[in-house]
Amino acid sequence: MPPRPARRIFEQRLKSSPTSNLLRNSRLFSLPNPLPTPPVAEASGADALRASNTATLPYPTHQAIVTTPSSLARGDWGLKRPLPSRSRLVQTSKPVLKVHQLDTIEQITDFDSAADHVRTREKWAEMHAPMVRYKSNTSAVDSSIRPKSAFDTSSDVTAYDDPATLDEAGQRLVALKENIEENAREVALKQTIEGIARQELMRVESSKEIREGIINEGLEQPKWIPSSAKVQVDKEYNRTSRWRHEGPWLPGMGADAFMDFLTNQLAGRKKDFNEYLVAYVKNEIYTGRRALFEERRKKDPEILPLDPDEANEIMKTNEAEWSIFTPEEITARIKQLRAECAESPITSTLVKNLIIPFLRLPPMVTNYSDFRSHGDVQGLKFTDNCIPSSTHPSAGLGYLRTKSYLGNHPILGPQEHPAPIAARVLQPRVHGLARDRTAKLGIGGFVVDDEHSSIDTSMSNPQQAGRDVQTIDIDTPGGKKIQVEPRYASITPDGRVHVSVHRRSGGEVSVAKGWLEDLPPVRENEVVEPLDLSAFGKSGVKELDDATAAAANGDPKVEDQLRQFMSVMPEALKSEAVKAPEVKELP
């Protein structure tokens, strides 16, 4: 029923009222609710956690707000009350704040600085690191593995409409749904044809007994159409590459949330699931019967005659027999699937092939943790690749797919490698009584692992082997720094950023430091006679060429003058204004 004219006018006035516009444009009402505080504790040793109260959170949880310089002078941040301008948090060059509570019991606004994550985001934008899909089994120091981009077609998948984006179990469920609809159409068509035939027979037959026999005659069961032949799995897509699922992550749900999911969402789908379950069991029974016949045919090829027409007739008869299912067979197979699910609930056929694709749940892939037997259920651990991500694989940090681009220097032109970034050594391999595999570096507000590990002992260069970060450097002011280039970054399922870096020590380091002097290349381990000027050819000055020829003939007076000339030239070249030396006229 369409709304009445008076109600429509009232809604239009309400939408355009000054109060609604004020609330719609107000920063106070536009602040979103903060995210839950992520844990910052890390495992250290046997069942021990290492935490810090002052550690920066892996990702921001509150909205960062800024204001204009004119409003900053008045303390106006668009909130309920002005903020004190004498606070150290706003007396910075670019103040950025986050609001913990708009109105406390003391009637003040609880706020804090948000510059930690905002400045880190600005530094990150200058690194130009491509975002890739996170893989837990990829080592940070393994440069031979090239991960897929976070925007790759096989990684950035959210829709369920295209069957090509589904895994094998999902495609089998789609084929099973089409199978149910096709068999229903076959049954309806057969019932219609047989109903018309019965009415025609009843009209023709005049005997009452014959008409009653036609009415009580059962319908012939149509041929079962298997769904296994319809599945064509695309190997490029798989379930683990989907970062968003319609169903919830069951291992991460609490007891109340799980009971609410069972009561409100699963109760109304019980009939549909039973229909899929019966069709799945029928398809399995039909496929098993056909496979058994093929095995018998391999052992005894004479089961089918050589005549193609006779062989087709026998196969049609067999397929009609295979399509007959008794309720006892269906019930027995369902009980068998449920018993298998009770024994192994995660890896059972019922869960993997029917429940997960039907409810569109994230996959549950497990492996056994260390020091656990393979029969211990408590030793199972879900892999990070199957845990659904809380955000997009790129998290909005960047939109580069690869590093296939060239940086353009304003003086030197296109560069093979971008300018490296100075990374501070935060923690060497050996610290205290512990020894780590890699050193910890700090780059742009992120803690990353060094490219070289402690097992790289075959390299002769200490810098390439990573032995320059074996122990702490107490001589360099401010700590040791290493020139590195960010290779790529990935986001873990819990929202943490992992960055992979590569050390740089070539000409790109000189370009980054501004060493642009055009010096000629010098060969190493080569002794050059300072008076041997024959390799340079003639200078074009007659006096200098004659002096060179005289020095080559062994004139001692000319040799002394040339030695004096060669000793003055290096210092003259280093000066800002190079003056040509005076050449005295030789006798």
Q: Mean pLDDT across the stretch 428-434?
A: 81
* Band (149; pLDDT cuts 50, 70, 90): confident
Residue 435, φ and ψ in degrees, nearest 5: -140, 115
Domain ranges of the chain: 28-127, 163-386, 408-513
**Poorest-confidence range of 384-398, 472-486, 557-571?**
557-571
Residue with tokens 């020139």: 483
Q: Is the pLDDT of residue 97 over 90?
A: yes
Residue at 54: amino acid letter: T
Is the sign of the CA dihedral 167, 170, 173, 177 positive or negative? negative
> Which residues fall within 8 angstroms of residue 261, CB to CB, at 6 or more apart?
248, 253
* 331, pLDDT greater than 60: yes
277 vs 464, residue with greater confidence = 277
Q: What is the DSSP pairing of strand 430-431 with strand 434-435?
A: antiparallel
Cβ atoms of residues 69 and 90 within 8 Å: no
Q: Render pLDDT for 191-204 as a digit per residue (tens, 0 to 9).
A: 676 666 655 555 55
Q: Could you give the CA distance from residue 395 to residue 397 in angstroms, rounded to a whole number?
A: 5
In percent, how much of the chain has pLDDT > 70?
A: 69
Predicted structure pTM score: 0.68
Q: Are 468 and 459 in contact (CB under 8 A)?
A: no
Q: Pick the more confident residue, 513 or 29.
A: 513
Q: Which residue has the higher pLDDT, 545 or 582?
A: 545
| Extended beta strands in 308-391, E state | 366-368, 380-382
Residue 220: band (very low, low, confident or very high) from pLDDT cuts 50, 70, 90 = very low
For residue range 109-143, list pLDDT tens digits in order: 899 999 989 999 999 999 989 999 887 655 444 45
**Tokens in use for 440?**
């910890």
Tell me the pLDDT tens digit for each residue of 463-500. 555 678 888 888 888 888 999 999 999 988 888 899 99
Q: Phi/psi at 214 (nearest 5 deg)?
A: -65, -35
Mean pLDDT of 367-378: 53
Coil, helix or strand for 354? helix
Band of pLDDT at residue 322, cut at 50, 70 and 90: confident
What is the average per-residue pLDDT within 554-562?
70
Question: What are the angstrom distances between the C-alpha of 115 and each of 55, 79, 441?
Answer: 14, 19, 21
